[in-house]
Amino acid sequence: MPAGITGLDFYERGLLLKKVQIFDMALKEFRQATTDPQQAGKAFAQMAVCLKTLGRNDEAVSAFRQALETGSFSSIERVHIQYLLAQTLDSLGREFEALVVYRRIRREHPNFQDVDARIRDLSSGKLTSPRPMTARPKGDVVRLWQQLKPQLASVLTQTWQRLAQYTNMPETDERNLLETTAERCDSLGPDRSVPAQERERDRRRQGRIAVQMLSQFSSKTSIVAGEGELRDLSPSGCRITSPVRVPLGAAVECWIYPHDGNPFAVDEARVRWTGHREFGLLFTKVRGGVHRQITDMCRKMAPL
C-alpha cells in the first residue's frame, strides 16, 4: 500500500468511482483496499458487485466468497451477500451451488425475500429467468440426466438383477449397524480411508440397493458443497459419485431427488469412505418420516 494512503482512502475512492459507474477504475481501488484487514470484507463485496455489473460473473462469485470468508459482517449483511452470491451462481447455470447458498440463507434468516420461491423453483427444475444454452456448464447434471434417463432404464433393470443377492435387514438391526459403524468412523484418523474390501463388506451387510438419482450435499462448518449421482442407497447410507472432493469424516447435509415425488433431506451424514470421484455416506441424523421414506423406497426398488 502506498505510503500516506490508507485502506479506507482506497475504499472511499472506489465507492466514488463506482457511483459514477467507472467500474474498472473502481475495481483497482477496491483491490488495493483489500490489503487492509479492516476494509477487506466490504472491499471484496464491492469488487463483486462491480464484476457482476461488468458481466464477469465467475470472478464475482470468487469475490463474494472472499468477502464472506473475512467474517467481518453482521448477520443481516452476510445474508444479503449470500443472496447476491446465489443469484450470480444461478445466472451462471450453477443451480445446485445456488441451492446450497439459498438453503443456508433460509437457515440463518427464514423468510428472507423470495428465497423460499427460488428454492422451490430450482428444486423442481424451473428457472427464474431464461438463459442461453451456452450459459450452462457442460456438466449440468440435471440436463444430462433428463437426456440419459430413457437409455438408463434398461441398465438399471440389469443392475438390479445382478444385485439380487442383496437382502434388506430388519429395521432394528439397521439401527444397530448405524451406531456401530458411526463409532468405527470416529476412530479413523483424518488421513485414512476405508479399504475397498471393507467398503464392499459394508455394502453387503447393509443391503444397499442400486439406484441412480440426483443428489446434492453441503457441509455445515466449511465451504464444501456440490452435486453428484447417488448410486447405492439403504436406510443407513448411500454412495455418491461426484468430481467434488470431500474430506473423510466430514458431516454434511444431503438432499436426494427421487425420479418421482419431491426431494427430501438427510439432516446429517458422515463421510464414511472416499475413493476416486466417489464417497460413501453414513446417515447419522435422519428424521423419522425421511427414514421411513428411504426404507419404503429401498423396499420397492429391491429386486424380486
Q: Is residue 38 part of a domain?
A: yes
A 10 A CB-CB count for 126 gives: 10
CATH code of residue 117:
1.25.40.10
One domain for residues 179 and 111: no
Q: Which conformational region is residue 140 in: left (phi greater than 0), alpha (psi within -120 to 50 degrees), or beta? A: beta
pLDDT at 223 (0 to 100): 60
One domain for residues 175 and 273: yes
One domain for residues 44 and 121: yes
Length of the chain: 304
- When divided into structural domains, the chain yields a total of 2
Give the Cα-Cα-Cα angle 106, 34, 61 (nearest 5 degrees): 40
Q: Is residue 200 part of a domain?
A: yes
pLDDT at 104 (0 to 100): 86
Q: Is residue 2 part of a domain?
A: no
Please list the pLDDT of the chain residue by residue as tens digits (304 residues): 556 688 898 999 899 888 888 888 999 999 999 999 899 999 999 999 999 999 999 999 999 999 988 877 888 888 889 899 999 998 998 888 888 889 888 888 888 888 888 888 887 765 444 343 333 444 454 555 455 545 444 444 444 444 444 434 444 343 443 444 444 444 443 334 445 555 554 444 456 788 888 888 887 665 667 788 888 899 999 999 988 888 888 888 888 888 776 778 898 999 999 988 899 999 999 988 888 888 888 888 877 6
Q: Is residue 271 part of a domain?
A: yes
Looking at 90, 117, 135, the residue that finishes a domain is 135
CATH code of residue 163:
2.40.10.220
A 10 A CB-CB count for 265 gives: 14
One domain for residues 57 and 154: no
One domain for residues 130 and 164: no
Q: Is residue 46 part of a domain?
A: yes
Looking at 135, 160, 189, the residue that finishes a domain is 135
Domain coverage including residue 74: 7-135
The set of cell numbers assigned to 160 is 438390479
pLDDT at 50 (0 to 100): 94
Q: Is residue 126 part of a domain?
A: yes
One domain for residues 147 and 115: no
One domain for residues 23 and 111: yes
One domain for residues 149 and 262: yes
One domain for residues 15 and 67: yes
On whether the CB atoms of residues 279 and 173 are closer than 8 A, the answer is no
Looking at 135, 153, 177, the residue that finishes a domain is 135
Q: Is residue 1 part of a domain?
A: no
pLDDT at 71 (0 to 100): 79
On whether the CB atoms of residues 301 and 160 are closer than 8 A, the answer is yes
The set of cell numbers assigned to 236 is 443407513
One domain for residues 23 and 108: yes
One domain for residues 112 and 198: no
DSSP secondary-structure letter at 135?
A: G
Cross-strand pairs, 273: 280
One domain for residues 111 and 217: no
pLDDT at 218 (0 to 100): 81
Cross-strand pairs, 215: 228, 256
